[in-house]
Structure 1
Amino acid sequence: MKILFSLSLGLLIIWAMYRNTDVRELWRIIKSANIGVIASSLIFGLIGNYIRGLRWELFVNSLGYHPPRASLVYSTLGNYAVNFVLPRAGDIWRCGVVSRYDKIPFAKTLETFLVDKMLDIIAGLIIIFVSIVLYIDFFASYLHDNAELTDSLTGFFSSVWMYVGLAVLLVAILLMCTVFRKTTFVEKIYKFFGTLKYDMMLISKMKEKKRIIIYTILVWFCFYLYFYICFFAFDFTKDLGPLAGLIVFAMTNIGISVPVQGGIGPWHFVVISSLLILGVTEKEALAFAGAVFIIQSVWQILYGLFGVLAMPYVKRENSSNLNQEIK
């Protein structure tokens, strides 16, 4: 039901945007694009995720585990193929498959993944903030032209149900800390957070902090090129400039955060609405979003499937992993 609901939501958004579009005109615009330019951008998507795997390796190593680098890279690539089946399931799959094949406790792979993910969230927020500072007029126009988004946010924070939910959550936490403190379930939670605190201290003391920062910058620079190079494939976007590319790229990070398979629907919405504000016509914006999303999604699925299928064949030294666990 979750798969069907999220996929249906994404497809509904796409239908709403494309329902009145002349398909033949859309195809004409797409055929006029330089597909070779879009194809050249694909390498940066792969490089970005490869570096993301290298960064995760630093966190895993900091806890005393040293799985093969290929295992961490392949699982990172496979993450995105699995996400196309079930939103965010790839994140859990990535931790689980490394735990299974490399004999690392799942809690350890999950902890390091969460730290790795937090870095990407912070980097994404920084990109959005920088974009707002550099081009405040764009975001003012975006909110003005998409008033329903502002109304939705206002309605969410003014809803009585949000505050009821927060009150229930606080009461539940209070009961867990007092009345149910000695139950097995709550003790396991305390034990998990105790272990998490200890592991976070180990990660905070790691010596490769500069490499982590460099890897994070490289990851997001690659993803930016992955998207921006596609501007040069179309006559109506090639002259918009790198700043415009940064702004639309920042908006895609908002769209991809919606829990829908591969960002289907929300990604299209933010790209199309952003290009409209930048002066691109509606048909051209629809063609750009449709062509780029399909090509890049197929690419992610292909290298993701390679990562999934390659995981069992990574050369591993079981004795080394066993020694790490004993240590």
Structure 2
Amino acid sequence: MTFDLKTALKYIILFLIGIGVLYLAFRGQDLGKIWQEIKTADYFWVITSAFAVWIAHILRALRWQMLYHSIHYKVSFWNAYHAVMIGYLANLALPRFGELGRCSVIHRAEKVPMFASIGTVITERLFDVLMLFFTSLAMVTLQYDIVSDFLYDAIYLNLLKKLDSLNYWWLVGLTITISVSVLIAVYFLRKKFSKKFLRIFVSLRQGFGSYGKLRQKGIFLTYTLGIWIFYSLSMYFAFSSIQATAGLHFNAAFTAIVFSGFAMAAPVQGGIGVFHWMVAQSLVLYGISFKDGLAYSTIIHSSQVLLILVLGGFSLSRILFKKTGAVKSS
């Protein structure tokens, strides 16, 4: 993979945006009090929270492994797990690079075609998007009285302002330009690299069709639900780490995980800044001060980053020093 100056600048800019959001979140706050809360946190609950996140990562590896098995690539659990952890590790440096990174790990370890892996990753990410949609819908439905004002003021009114200022002709022109460019690129790629393009298309289609070929869709969906449950539990367990949030119930964790889900979708390394602001804002809805929310979000974000650095680094070392295997298909 080539890494030119333009690519480097893009990721540096994204990182600086994250730092900027982090600065805005902490600006005007009493940093001394926030640091004091972090220092006096009950780290038993911090470790318990991190353990719940680790269980979610294991479930993600098991779910991904199922997609490979459905298209007759017998990827081992440990290779799938190490690839997932390495992917999270890569995302700390370059946002969204982890998805390609973990596909590359499976290609190296199991000789699975890259584009077949990419197809499976896109498939499982679609289920994550669906889960985020349904959990958001459940949050609004079950806690409408709590979140309605925030959704109206922070999202609906801002969206109306942006739509009012939007130049629709510019948007139509951009859509047409992108569509035509994609069609032209596909045409010339197929003409110049017809055989290679066909192999790529077949591999991608194979990956996309992995869910449809699953024999145990119920287990796959159970893993998907389990991932979100353990993410929510990690939020809930961490409430007990500081006094300010110790009295919060699971519904607050449910809302926090929805807010953090949108934060982690931002193209910023590790969700830095955006995660802190969104989680702190979600806790404000339950009577927690923004300052205390920032202390809580800093604790849980730092514990998750540390978990990825340690376990992701271990997985990376395991893969680098492991002999590549041969793909086993049936």
TM-score of the superposed pair, with normalisation by structure 2: 0.87
CA-to-aligned-CA distance 1:85-126 (integer Å, 9 cap, x gap): 000111100001211222111111111111121111111211
Alignment match, 2:180: 171
**Does the 8 Å CA contact 1:124/1:250 hold for their aligned counterparts?**
yes
Q: Which residue of 2 aligns with 1:121?
A: 129
- The answer to whether the 8 A contact 1:143-1:149 is kept is no
**Pairwise CA distance, 1:189:** 4.8
**How much does 1:44 deviate?**
1.0
Further displaced range: 190-199 or 89-98: 190-199
1:26-41 correspondence to structure 2 within 5 Å: 26-41=34-49
The amino acid that maps onto 1:287 is A
Q: CA deviation at 1:40?
A: 1.3
Length, aligned pairs only: 321
Paired letter, 2:171: M
> 2:139 touches 2:255 (CA, 8 Å); kept in 1?
yes
Aligned-partner Cα distance in 1 for 2:90–2:121: 16
Distance change >3 Å, CA 251–CA 316, structure 1 → 2: same
- Amino acid paired to 2:254: L
**Does the 8 Å CA contact 1:10/1:264 hold for their aligned counterparts?**
yes
Asked if the contact 1:176/1:186 (under 8 Å) is kept, the reply is: no
Q: Secondary structure at the match of 2:74?
A: coil
Give the superposition deviation at 1:278.
Answer: 1.9
Alignment partner of 1:74 is 2:82: yes
Across the aligned residues of Structure 1 and Structure 2, the Cα RMSD in angstroms comes to 2.6
* Structure 2 partner of 1:260: 268
Aligned to 1:20: 28
Report if aligned partners of 1:70, 1:314 keep a CA contact under 8 Å in 2: no
- Distance in 2 (alpha carbons) for counterparts of 1:157 and 1:48: 40
Identity over aligned residues, as a percent?
22
Matched, 1:296 2:304: yes
CA distance in 2, matches of 1:201, 1:28: 51
Partner of 1:312: 320
Question: 1:1-327 to 2 correspondence within 5 Å?
Answer: 1-146=9-154, 149-150=158-159, 154=163, 160-173=169-182, 175=184, 183-185=191-193, 189=197, 192-198=200-206, 200-201=208-209, 203-314=211-322, 317-318=325-326, 321=327, 324=329
Structure 2 counterpart of 1:154, one-letter code: L
Task: Give the whole-Å Cα distance in 2 for the aligned partners of 1:282 and 1:202.
Answer: 44
Change (3 A) 1:224 1:316: same
The answer to whether the Cα contact below 8 Å between 1:42 and 1:299 also exists between their aligned partners in 2 is yes
SS at match of 2:224: helix
Gaps of 5+ in 1: none
Query: For 1:251-296, what per-residue CA distance to the aligned partner results, in whole angstroms no more than 9, with x for missing partners?
Result: 1101110010000011111112222222111221221122222222
Q: 1:192 to 1:276 in 2, by over 3 A?
A: same
CA distance in 1, matches of 2:322, 2:223: 24
Cα gap change, 1:153 to 1:118, in 2 (>3 Å) = farther
Instruction: Confirm or deny: 8 A CA contact 1:124 1:253 kept in the other structure.
Output: yes
Pair 175,312 (structure 1): closer, same or farther in 2 beyond 3 Å? closer
Contact 2:103 2:118 in 1 (8 A): yes
Paired letter, 2:139? S
Q: For residues 152 and 70 of structure 1, what CA distance do their matches in structure 2 show?
A: 49
Residues 46 and 237, structure 2, Cα contact 8 Å, conserved in 1? yes
**Farther off after superposition, 289-298 or 222-231:** 289-298
Once the two structures are TM-superposed, the CA of residue 202 in structure 1 deviates from its matched residue by 5.5
